[in-house]
Chain A
Amino acid sequence: SSFTSIGNEYIRLNFDTNGFLVTVTADGMTRIINQEFVYYEGAIGNNREFRNRSSGAYIFRPARDQVRSISLQPKLKVYRGNLVEEVHQQFNEWVSQVVRVYRQQHYAEFEWLVGPIPVDDGKGKEIVSRFNSDINSGGIFYTDSNGREMLKRRRDHRDTWKVKLLEHTAGNYYPITTKIALEDENARMAILTDRAQGGSSMGAGSLELMVHRRLLHDDAFGVDEALNETAYGEGLVARGTHYLVVGSSNKRQSPTTHAIERFTQLRKLLPVWSFFSDAKNIAYDDWR
């Protein structure tokens, strides 16, 4: 087929000829799952009254709910080997990603590299990695509470009062410390993060995580500075990793997808420490 495929006996990812992830096969089922980078434009307020604040360090306030697409055809390069298979995606000159699947691992790794975020159009941007799937999750999704309990979320809803959301997008964003997930009666998709991020499910089957922000106006909450971090005179480049776990939502199978998520989360958040020692004057046998 013209698809590009990487994976192993537990999880397999297929990319179409446009360079986007389109399906994931795991637990004997193939689900439509695509991943893309989009961005929200940051709102610019006059900061006089509470409702007219700019998006900034203390608040996420997009100018509009619609997202902008970052690329229509990322360039692909594929590397295969016995230990790992990788797809290098170049979405544009400031967004790229490496998707990799290691041998005998149950998850796929999405290592994203975002920045410097261009602001020559005078607009602040808030970059999101979005996974859209055909999993019929309705408006329900799950976000973690400091890496432990998963809290059930329902879009445009609060459990303890009748909410009227004036900020539809921001009102549906939640703090994701380690994991965001959704499921239907057959399949479950979870994304593990390597750091705390904002996240939500803005549509059925869809999960998104905010990976980087660059804003040009202070939000008048006290820091008196726009969230516009730079390095070497340009906008900061951020690099991080998302881990995608897809599987059956059947809780009777073993190991359950939940269990795979937990074990992966523990290994990725309490990773092995690497220490390097120069061995210039010690031969291998002496070292042994």
Chain B
Amino acid sequence: DPHLSFMREMMGVMQHHDAVTGTEKQAVAADYARHLEVAIRACATNTKEVLNQLTVDTAVPASVTESGARERRWTTGPKKEYAFKFETCTLLNISSCAVPEQADKFILTLYNPLARTVSEFVRVPVPDVNYEVKDFDDVTMETQFLPVPTPVQDLNFRKSSALYELVFLANSLPPLGYKSFYITKTNGNRMKPVADPVNE
């Protein structure tokens, strides 16, 4: 709750006409951004708690904690518990995200906030073009790689090792629900995307 309350307070501050329209002083705008960043990072704990309470069929019977709250953990039977860190990437809009840029294997969990099933094309910034995407049904998704456009002005402003964007169709994301995909780097020697010749 303290994290969510902090986020609520920050969003409360963001209702100010200056915050909505950007007519505040530069330093104030930077401070708004800083507060929002802290609030979003704080709420990552909530995301982790919620998404780690996935229960699977073989879940160990839910234990009742001393507070009486039914605590359910991500369990795969008696042997191991996994608690994932679910990183949100606030720079995805400029094709930058630490986990896919550095990890050889990572899980992408997509949450659909709409009250109906949607299928969305997902773009993941990656340093290479040899990746495989699988869903939980062992289905390998069709993928396509596109170069991150790196125009002149971008070079100074985007600190990212991602040179490509991995595109795949995340289909049938359940309403107000989520779906995860397991993405692995492969040793394949997939062709890098080549621009078509253009008539000038």
Contact = CB atoms under 8 A, between A and B. Distances in A.
B59 interface: no
Q: Chain B, interface size: which category?
A: 35 or more
A254 interface: no
Nearest to B151: A96
Nearest to B25: A225
A177 B94 CA distance: 22
Contact of A17 (B106, B149, B170, B199): B199
A98 B169 CA distance: 19
B89 A96 contact: no
Contacts of A105: 121
Interface string B182-195: 10100000000111
A206 to B, nearest CB: 25
A275 interface: yes
A267 B85 contact: no
B104 interface: yes
Contacts of B16: none
Q: Which of A17, A78, A239, A273 has most B Cβ within 10 Å?
A: A273
A275 B109 CA distance: 5
A277 B29 contact: no
Interface stretch (A25-33, A82-90, A182-190): A82-90
A229 B26 contact: yes
B111 A275 contact: yes
Interface in A1-24: 2-4, 17, 19
Contacts of B34: none
Interface string A80-103: 111110101010011010100011
Contact of B149 (A82, A113, A266, A279): A113
A233 to B, nearest CB: 9
B25 A223 contact: yes
Interface in A227-268: 229, 231-232, 234, 237, 239, 266-267
B37 interface: no
Contacts of A57: 22-23
Given A115-B153, A270-B114, A275 B82 contact: no
A84 B168 CA distance: 9
B152 interface: yes
B38 interface: no
B146 A81 contact: yes
A274 B88 contact: yes
A288 B136 contact: yes
A161 interface: no
Given A78-B196, A79-B196, A284 B112 contact: no
In order of increasing CB-CB distance, the 5 nearest A-B pairs are A275-B86, A276-B99, A81-B144, A277-B84, A96-B151
Given A17-B199, A84-B167, A272-B110, 19 more contacts: A78-B198, A79-B146, A79-B193, A83-B168, A84-B144, A84-B146, A88-B149, A223-B23, A237-B154, A239-B93, A272-B112, A272-B170, A274-B122, A275-B111, A276-B86, A277-B84, A277-B87, A277-B99, A278-B99
